[in-house]
Amino acid sequence: MTEHETGESPTAPHELLLESEDITSFLDALTATIAQALSTDGDEVWCAVTLLRPKRSSTVASSSPAAEALDEIQYHYGDGPCLTASREHRLVHVADTRSDPRWPEYGRAAAANGIRSALGVPLDLGGEASAALDVYADRPHKFDPATIEVVQREVASASTALRLAVRMEKHRDAEADLKAAMASRTTIDLAVGIVMGQNRCTQEEAFAILRAASSHRNVKLRDLAAELVATVGQGPATTHFDP
């Protein structure tokens, strides 16, 4: 996949991100796009994304079920080009699995499963996680320097899009948490006001009554407050709690 052969990628990573519902669907689309672009001249290419986890590695996206199966070979042996790329954050190129000396057991198993060459390209997630794009081909020496350069550019662009997506997701989570907290606080304040009016007590005393009732009934304070507010909204209420 040189620039002369393929031009720009069919869909740029940032465009894929905009079209995707979530990060997983973005990665699935990315692997499918790269695999399709690299599968030329009758050669078949498979792509997947490996994520390193504390206890085990896993495939979080793939261009096909076959790509996931190819990843499992590396997981079985605990090493290989893509796991090394993820761990060491560097490009790993296997020109021929039958002659590469670095992972002899993996190499034999990969060759037996039709894998003749492979690439592991790390995703730069800014310290969020360790991951890599796994690229497999059924022919040796499939990835020439020009092809590798194009794949690295695609992965770099995807990494930027992923970092943005992660930050946006965190922002959305924080915003949702803030709104929930504000809504909860508002409900509790309303409930405190109701207790103050019905018991002719101070704000501190009303809050203490609510808190004691929450503990006595083993109900979260915000849920108890919501129940009280809803009850009052339905008409006359008897809301004198027994702490």
Which among 124, 52, 44 has a CA at the least distance from the CA of 82? 52
Which position has the higher pLDDT, 120 or 12?
120
Residues 6+ apart with CB under 8 A from 108: 97, 98
Residues 6+ apart with CB under 8 A from 148: 91, 93, 119
Q: Any idea where the domains of the chain sit in the sequence? A: 13-171, 172-232
User: Per-residue pLDDT tens for 51-105?
Assistant: 887 667 788 888 988 888 999 999 999 899 999 999 999 999 999 999 999 999 9
The answer, as to whether pTM is greater than 0.75, is no
User: Per-residue pLDDT tens for 194-217?
Assistant: 999 888 899 888 888 888 888 888
Domain 13-171 sits in CATH at 3.30.450.40
Domain 172-232 sits in CATH at 1.10.10.10
Can you say how many angstroms the Cα of residue 82 is from the centroid of all Cα atoms in its chain?
18
What is the number of residues in the chain? 243
User: Per-residue pLDDT tens for 146-172?
Assistant: 999 999 988 888 887 777 655 555 545
Q: How confident is the model at residue 177 (pLDDT cuts 50, 70, 90)?
A: low
